[in-house]
Amino acid sequence: MKIWLDEKLVEEQDAKISVFDHGLLYGDGVFEGIRFYNGRVFRLEEHIKRLFDSAKAIIITMPWTQEQVVQFTVDTIAANGLRDGYVRLVVTRGTGGLGLNPYLCERPSMFIIASTISLYPEEYYTKGLPIITCATRRPAPSALMPQVKSLNYLNNIMAKVEAIQAGVMEALMLNEQGFVAECTGDNIFIIRDGKLLTPPVADGALDGVTRRVILELADQLGIPWAEQTLARYDIYIADECFLTGTAAEVIPVISLDRRPIADGLPGPLTGKFIRAFRELANSTGTPIV
């Protein structure tokens, strides 16, 4: 496997960072995960823009342009001979001292990994995913804006631990007010009386790229939608529910806290979104050349 590391393509065993890198020492950095299908990278420019926005928000000055990072990403995928898969870009603060002072890190470091991914077994896409509500809350926006995709994912990991210990693959996370934010790695949508609803980003949800695609598809499918503050009650009584994410794509949810959503089966509108998303993802994007 070829890894892009600070402007060089190197073999996996040679892709090494310093133990003094602040991304390792303090989770001081940002990342993006991007899917590619049929030799095209889906929504690549949107992901790279968000990577730069995250870096700017935590005061990392990128030494590359967005156009350069787009090309680095495509080059990494091409170097690995892949046409379908997942690419992860990680930007760290760089090498510095053992103290917290980020200004001692002279230059950011970036690596890009292109591989394959399978987040959930295929059966969950046809039969649906049971989820639980976890006790771990999303950090308040006043602590760290949810739009920053930082390397410190401990909050999400602890929530994922709760899900696994409860015997499910995913968990619903609430904000500090007790309203729905998102899941451990995915945005959440419900359908009620023919209308598509999702929590606003102000409630602690990441403004996911796939989330935006679903809202675009809702317009194309003639399905009304709104960003609306949601409680668990709203999910319990929903007609349908599904999650979205770059790695997860679109996956139906059939129960929350062992309470079936509607009849406990994936709903028809969810199926429409799954088919529309897959058609779009497999037919558009930046060519891998």
Catalytic machinery residues = 149
| Distance, CA of 228 to CA of 96 (rounded, Å) | 43
Beta bridge partners of 5: 8, 111
Block residue for tokens 């806290």: 257
| Distance, CA of 127 to CA of 250 (rounded, Å) | 13
Task: Answer yes or no: are the C-beta atoms of 123 and 251 closer than 8 Å.
Answer: no
CA atoms within 13 A on the CB side of 196: 23
| Distance, CA of 91 to CA of 28 (rounded, Å) | 9
* The two three-digit tokens of residue 79, written as one number: 């170097």
Block residue for tokens 């729905």: 180
Tell me how long the chain is. Answer: 289
- Angle between helices 209-221 and 44-57 in degrees, nearest 10: 140
